[in-house]
Structure 1
């Protein structure tokens, strides 16, 4: 996992990363901040773009795709207090493999 590069989706407005909150309650925004959050990682640049175009086509221009080396993932998880990562296996369905640190 650490020897390759991954791609992240980041908001152009506030710089936050696209994350998943498995089993989160969509009604409670304040509770969502304390619920486990997993940073979404894509193996290819085009997978991240496919995810945006499929699930946020009207807002895709509000996000950017950036790359990160695998060696920097742990530092990013600590800095933003993420629970772990969600590696997107299929951006169209989506199928995500969640890994906790």
Structure 2
């Protein structure tokens, strides 16, 4: 995982990354899971399928596994969510 390249969706407005927050019923202060894609085109497909009205407000950024670890620490994310299928979407979650 450390040498792999992943693609993240980044807001152009405030520089925040696209995350998934679990449904905890209003309890907990979970910071969410950083959404990651294995291919650049998967991230674009996700944006164009699920955020067609706001897709122009985001950009896709690449990151290595070591950069991801630093992002998790800096932003306090609970873990990562690797998007397996951007159209459904099907996401595999991993806690830090």
Band the TM-score falls in, shorter-chain normalisation: over 0.9
Unaligned runs of 5+ in 2: none
Preserved CA contact (<8 Å) 2:31 2:76 = no
* 1:71-86 equivalences in 2 (<5 Å): 71-86=66-81
Which aligned runs of 4 or more in structure 1 are off by greater than 3 angstroms? none
CA RMSD in angstroms, aligned pairs only: 1.5
Number of aligned residue pairs: 96
Preserved CA contact (<8 Å) 2:11 2:57 = yes
What's the secondary structure of 2:17's corresponding residue? coil
Instruction: Give the TM-score taking structure 1 as reference length.
Output: 0.89
By how many angstroms is 1:23 displaced? 1.3
For 1:95 and 1:54, the matched residues in 2 are separated by 13
Q: What does residue 2 of structure 1 align with?
A: 2
Of residues 89, 92, 95, the one that matches 1:97 is: 92
Say which is worse superposed, 16-25 or 80-89, in terms of deviation: 16-25
Preserved CA contact (<8 Å) 2:30 2:78 = no
Instruction: Give the TM-score taking structure 2 as reference length.
Output: 0.93
